[in-house]
Structure 1
């Protein structure tokens, strides 16, 4: 400024006064100084404005609104028929007829297929002939027994009259007993043959495969003309399922398993219809877990009616078990809540912005919470504004950003 002052004095000197030599300052230098001053002022204003915007952004608020909130346990799973049966073949042979296709509706007792029965029919005829032969042997033995009985009676009469010896009487009576034993043996053989015939008739009936239940054919593993071998295990031809009622099987982590209770409400949607919510009740939890990639999962099941047939086997499902829920209640963001020193378990502190702009700390009570909001039981009214904590503050007090979750 000491150099600048003479320059200004030189500019404002009276007319006719000479400028001293060595004190000359050109006009471009003055302009440069003015530009630098204006740039510094603009930079200072921009810095001040940025600080103000940053302060404003760190002081975010949210309005208390009414809505719904639910404490949920989420799980993934698939849809399966509540009841189904695998139809197999009990006898070996070629599958000569198959009267079913995937998607067909079948009734209990309906004929689904036939297996070549010629070998079984021949076996049945052979066993019938053997039974008839045994019956003929029995008739012969019974006739011989009648004759032996008559001879024994004559020997007894003659022995009483001393007309025969004791040996002849004993031989005649022994012959009767021998024939009785033979007759008993033959009758036992006939009974065994009747059992064999019953098995033959049953095997012959197995060549006609009937539907054991009413339902829908959902899969097929055999084709017409295929040779079936039922000696080691029953080959499966097809599966019939009752699609009127479906069972949803979901896997729940071991951390969430203690939160589930039988009979609790569950809402779910399929992958193809994410906006269509269906409801059911938890029916069963398997006690034995399944370990997948070192993660322990428990299987939970619930049934749902399927009158329109929208649910099909193997559909993917996202389920939400509802521990608690509240509808049309004031909601406060979790990021606005702080622990209440010395308060009860449902008490929290929030910073409320008054209409004047001032901020006050208030203690409130909360109810049902999800991963984003909490139900306001008392202490706040719809329309009031609460101050949201910064992410760093939320992490320092609560252990991290509140995770986003599904909202019902």
Structure 2
């Protein structure tokens, strides 16, 4: 029995020895694999291809499209609005009849003025006769006084009557002139009952209705607006940080929300010298609206430019995304800004990757620079690859499993 037990123990030792050796080998292999994976883990170069193209430095802003010119047509005469002869969208030519106000009241005033003037003329004729009589009496009494046929008192009274009659005639003449001025004013007001277009353009709004009573005594009631839509003006708001980069005559282009990628090009016409303040109800700047050009404590200045709109694609109040071209270059060698590195001597270098994937540093000369791209004047050619960044590999340890 003892011999059998000893044999079993010896056999058990021999059976476990190969398993232990296998475990050691597997563990050593796992450690080697992890070391190899760790050595392979590093960083990957992020590259970009140098291209040739156009580059521009722009100042971006938002603007509103408005008619180049417009006029609000109002009423200068009071009365009932009897006819409006145009509709919104109609084209009006300068001098065209637009609306009519009931002229009866103004016609009556003109007739009364004419009658009053006629009465004054009749009074003047009568007074001139009195003047002639007083003058003749004065001359007769002067001759009689020489012969002492009349008293000096009678002579003085004759002189007084002659002068008084002449003064009354002058007063009537003044009344006639005054009444003639009133007649001219009332005739002008009568003419205002027929409202004509002051300029050629499109009727863009009508603010009154036929039958409405207008009171032009204290203010001018607005009837309609005529705008010149063949040329539009873009009112652009530019921040105080960017306005110093703008100048009259510089190229500008813009796009609208409804026309996709279509561009309209123009030239900057004017930069208003002060932030634009809306007109108040009394015609001056309204203090309550003076903050309209200050957004988030940033002062905004107004830049104006005009664009042809013969096709009528642009409409008032459209929003425009505006790009003022501060600088531009055509057919330039272009690289990403992220590829640039500052060298120790104050110059600029880039990392260039060759066909074998090896990186070398190269000195370059740069020109126009934007936020994302830069013009390479010297040192690179289109098609070369430059390093724009480095991406670290994950370096994760592989999962190793084995069974005993």
1:336 pairs with one of 334, 339, 348: 339
Matched, 1:291 2:281: no
Matched, 1:140 2:126: yes
Secondary structure of the corresponding residue to residue 60 of structure 2: strand
Tell me the distance in 1 between the aligned counterparts of 2:103 and 2:24: 113
Q: Answer yes or no: is the 8 Å Cα contact 2:66–2:317 preserved in 1.
A: yes
Tell me the distance in 2 between the aligned counterparts of 1:380 and 1:284: 40
Structure 1 position 45, deviation (Å):
9.0
Secondary structure of the corresponding residue to residue 176 of structure 2: helix
Distance 1:41 1:156, change over 3 A: same
Deviations 1:132-179 (A, max 9, x none): 111111111011111111111211222233322222222222211101
Distance 1:180 1:331, change over 3 A: same
Structure 1 position 127, deviation (Å):
1.9
In the other structure, the counterpart of 2:373 is 373
Matched, 1:208 2:194: yes
1:84 pairs with one of 64, 67, 70: 70
Structure 1 position 31, deviation (Å):
11
Structure 1 position 46, deviation (Å):
9.6
5 Å matches for 1:18-29? 20-25=10-15
Q: Answer yes or no: is the 8 Å Cα contact 2:81–2:209 preserved in 1.
A: yes
In the other structure, the counterpart of 1:402 is none
Structure 1 position 68, deviation (Å):
1.1
Deviations 1:325-353 (A, max 9, x none): 1111110100100124443xxx5211112
Tell me the distance in 1 between the aligned counterparts of 2:35 and 2:146: 152
Tell me the distance in 1 between the aligned counterparts of 2:362 and 2:249: 39
Q: Answer yes or no: is the 8 Å Cα contact 2:232–2:306 preserved in 1.
A: yes
1:308 pairs with one of 311, 314, 321: 311
2:320 pairs with one of 317, 320, 328: 317
Matched, 1:276 2:262: yes
TM-score, L = length of structure 2:
0.84
Gapped runs of 5+ residues in structure 1? 1-16, 393-408
Deviations 1:168-193 (A, max 9, x none): 22222221110111011111111110
Secondary structure of the corresponding residue to residue 60 of structure 1: strand
Structure 1 position 43, deviation (Å):
6.9
Q: Which deviates more, 30-39 or 112-121?
A: 30-39
Structure 1 position 37, deviation (Å):
5.6
Q: Answer yes or no: is the 8 Å Cα contact 2:46–2:391 preserved in 1.
A: no
2:164 pairs with one of 159, 174, 178: 178
1:199 pairs with one of 169, 185, 194: 185
In the other structure, the counterpart of 1:3 is none
Tell me the number of residue pairs that the alignment of Structure 1 and Structure 2 aligns. 369
- Moved beyond 6 Å, runs of 4+: none
Tell me the distance in 1 between the aligned counterparts of 2:65 and 2:148: 94
In the other structure, the counterpart of 1:153 is 139
Structure 1 position 92, deviation (Å):
1.7
Tell me the distance in 2 between the aligned counterparts of 1:391 and 1:211: 70
Distance 1:81 1:173, change over 3 A: same
Matched, 1:224 2:210: yes
TM-score, L = length of structure 1:
0.83
Gapped runs of 5+ residues in structure 2? 1-6, 276-292, 393-404
Tell me the distance in 1 between the aligned counterparts of 2:244 and 2:63: 18
Secondary structure of the corresponding residue to residue 248 of structure 2: coil
Distance 1:46 1:320, change over 3 A: farther
Distance 1:139 1:46, change over 3 A: farther
5 Å matches for 1:3-14? none
Structure 1 position 225, deviation (Å):
1.4
In the other structure, the counterpart of 2:288 is none
Deviations 1:38-69 (A, max 9, x none): 994897499459825xx22xx11112110111
RMSD across aligned C-alpha pairs, in angstroms?
2.7
Tell me the distance in 2 between the aligned counterparts of 1:243 and 1:193: 45
Tell me the distance in 1 between the aligned counterparts of 2:142 and 2:60: 96
Which protein, 1 or 2, shows the higher relative CO under an 8 Å CA cutoff with sep ≥ 6? 2
Distance 1:312 1:147, change over 3 A: same
Distance 1:237 1:126, change over 3 A: same
Structure 1 position 388, deviation (Å):
1.0
Tell me the distance in 1 between the aligned counterparts of 2:82 and 2:333: 70
Secondary structure of the corresponding residue to residue 67 of structure 1: strand
